[in-house]
Structures are given as structure tokens and as C-alpha cells.
Amino acid sequence: MEIALPPHINDVKGFLADDEAKALYEQALSVAERGPVLEVGSYCGKSTIYLGLACQQKNSVVYAVDHHVGSEEHQLGEMFHDPDLYDAGEGRFDTFKEFRRNIRLAGLDDTVVPIVATSEVSARHWHTPLAMVFIDGGHSLDAALCDYRCWAGKIITGGVLAIHDLFPAPEEGGQAPYAIYKMALASGLFEPIARVNTLGLLRRI
């Protein structure tokens, strides 16, 4: 399936492989008529753009939840710190300006709804059923568990749960996303759709 991507897509900072991005787009396209999509962990908006392009076709929306101050691994001195995204004046990591720019250049201002907050705060009074949830937030066990517990139960029957950065072997990467993936399967609420690279896709039963 060909996707009409914005010209700047390859310049958008992020950690999403092309096959994972295409899979997210296809899954969002398949369910977006039934309700909105929500992602946790937007970073600079790469995944948001793929989800947004699918939702735009179906007159749906993407709620993009991210506090935009970076996860543990993005902070000063950590492995994935990007000095271009560090606001020296504020003394903290800040991806929101870059995120807004990328969404605007993609023509998705009327499709993407940024929510600049944590999962816990965003979900506290959330009542809207969701057609798809994409979890790609903090990779500590506490953060991943919080994201899963906040949002998995809000997915409609037949909706999609996508979890990024699944590494079954500890030497390949952090285990928290894989832990919540296994938790979803063990819950009896989800069945597997596919695994695409490090992206796990499940359907709400």
C-alpha cells in the first residue's frame, strides 16, 4: 500500500522503522472509522504522522499523549540524548516545538490533538472509547505498566493495541514493552495480529 507521505518525513527525528510505520498506518486505516486513535509517546511526531495520515482519510483524529520532556534515556548524559532538542534556557529536554512543526508541515493540524501530559494525568477522566492505542512511551517498567493500565481497557472490541520496541532477549533491548505485550496476551482481552520488526499488534477480543 502506497502512502502519500509529506516531503519532510525522512527528516523527522524518531526511532520507528519503515516497516513498523507502514504497519501502524495500515492498522489505523482499518479501524479509524470506528473511533479515534491514541498514541503514548509522540517524541517529534514520526509515528503521529503515519497514524494521522490514516485518520485524516477516515475523518478521525489522533490524540497524541506526551509530556514532551523526554524519557529517562533522553536526558543529559544518557544514550539517546539529542542536544538539538535540549532547551538550555529552560534546562530541560523539550520535543514539543519540533513536534508541532512536523505536524504542521504534514498538514495534520486538524487531525492531531496534542495532549501535553503524562498517561496518568491524561487518562484520569478519559471516557472516549478508542479504536486503536499505540504505546511507545517511557521504557522503564513503571512507565510501561502505567501506559498499559491507563489505556488498554479503553480500546473497543475489535480495536487495535500496538506496542513498540519488543525485544524478547534482554541483550537486544529493554524488557518493559515486551512485559506489557505478554501481559496483554495473558489477560484474555487481546489476540495477536502480527509482529512487525519490534512492533507488536494485537486485537481487542
69, 165, 176, 195, 203 from 21: Cα distances, Å: 23, 13, 21, 13, 18
Question: Which residues touch 63 (CB under 8 Å, ≥6 apart)?
Answer: 36, 37, 38, 39, 113, 115
Distance of CA 122 to the CA centre of its chain: 14
∠ CA(131), CA(202), CA(190), 5° rounding? Answer: 90
Q: Which of 67, 74, 139, 164 is catalytic?
A: 139
- What length is written for the chain? 205
DSSP single-letter state for residue 71? -
- Catalytic, 127? Answer no
Sign of CA dihedral 80, 86, 88, 91: negative
Q: Give the active site residues.
A: 139
